[in-house]
Amino acid sequence: MSSRTPVIAGNWKMYKDHLEAIQLVQKLAYHLEAEDYEDQEVVVCPPFVSLRSVQTVIQSDDLPIGLGAQNCHPEDEGAFTGEVSVPMLSRLDVTYVIAGHSERRALFGESDAVVNEKVRAIQHHGLRPILCVGESLEEREAGRAVEVVVQQLRGSLDGIAIDDPEALVVAYEPVWAIGTGRTATPQDAQEMCAAVRAEVASLYDQATADGVRVQYGGSVKPGNVKSLMSQPDIDGALVGGASLSSEDFALIVRHRR
């Protein structure tokens, strides 16, 4: 048994206005009981404009739900129209920040170098990155999946020290499984999460690798979460579509029952 505390995070992407966001987190809390939060972290990542509203609900109802952001700018402040900095997120009690999600890599041109700067900034301010890596379908079919993921990991972590392994979450999200309903088999997901951990061991050391949490993401649903989470190197899930339904996300969080 690993001593790592799993993290189940909901990535709401560009869904829900701030009123719907308030409802979603309230309903989620309604479906969950104290035991569901034991020995695992539950995190929601709403759009920027809803962070304040969701934070207020979490605070006033004293909910054991963590707050995450979906992106950040690496600088603390500056003339970067439309961007949001890590210190701003920190002031809203955000503890996790997703960095390098495949949608950002593909649609907004984020390279490993940019992701590296973001991870650095997130760590610098004492927040926790959820660093996303994952191969495309073509890359998997060409037998290059591990190579691609290892490359992303190296580039995104280049020159970054890891003092507290618990403070780094890596999300393995095969691009072909995101929003497609097509999930990696638990065996394939386990194999890649183990490869991620092995790479962390080679970049740092075994103790660091043993402490880092590695999530699986890509069409995680109530029906497949159990088999994924039972894999030894999978320490949680990054959930997109299914996190938009309080019932489904609650069922995912309650996968141990």
Residues that bind ligand PGA (CB under 6 A): 11, 173, 178-179, 217-220, 238-242
**Closer to ligand PGA by Cβ: residue 28 or 239:** 239
Shortest separation between residue 225's beta carbon and ligand PGA, angstroms: 11
41, 101, 135, 199: which one is catalytic?
101
* Contact (CB, 8 A) for 162 and 170: no
Question: Which residue's CB atom is positioned nearest to ligand PGA?
Answer: 240
Q: How far is the CB of 206 from ligand PGA (least distance, A)?
A: 28
179: left (phi over 0), alpha (psi -120 to 50) or beta: left
157 vs 175, beta carbon nearer ligand PGA: 175
If the CB atoms of residues 127 and 239 are measured against ligand PGA, the closer one turns out to be 239
- Least distance from C-beta 83 to ligand PGA, angstroms? 21
In the complex, the smallest distance separating the C-beta of residue 102 from ligand PGA, rounded to whole angstroms, is 7
* 173 catalytic per annotation: yes
Nearer to ligand PGA, 119 or 178 (CB): 178
Q: Provide the minimum distance between the beta carbon of 141 and ligand PGA in the complex, in angstroms, as a whole number.
A: 19
Annotated active-site residue in 41, 117, 173, 199: 173
What DSSP letter does each residue of the chain carry, written as one string?
---PPPEEEEE-TT---HHHHHHHHHHHHHH--GGGGTTSEEEEE--HHHHHHHHHHHHHTT--EEEEES--BSSSSSS-TT--BHHHHHHTT--EEEES-HHHHHHS---HHHHHHHHHHHHHTT-EEEEEE---HHHHHTT-HHHHHHHHHHHHHTT---S-GGG-EEEE--GGGTTSS-PPPHHHHHHHHHHHHHHHHHHS-HHHHHHSEEEEESS--TTTHHHHHTSTT--EEEESGGGGSHHHHHHHHTTT-
Residue 75 annotated in active site: no
Catalytic residues: 101, 173
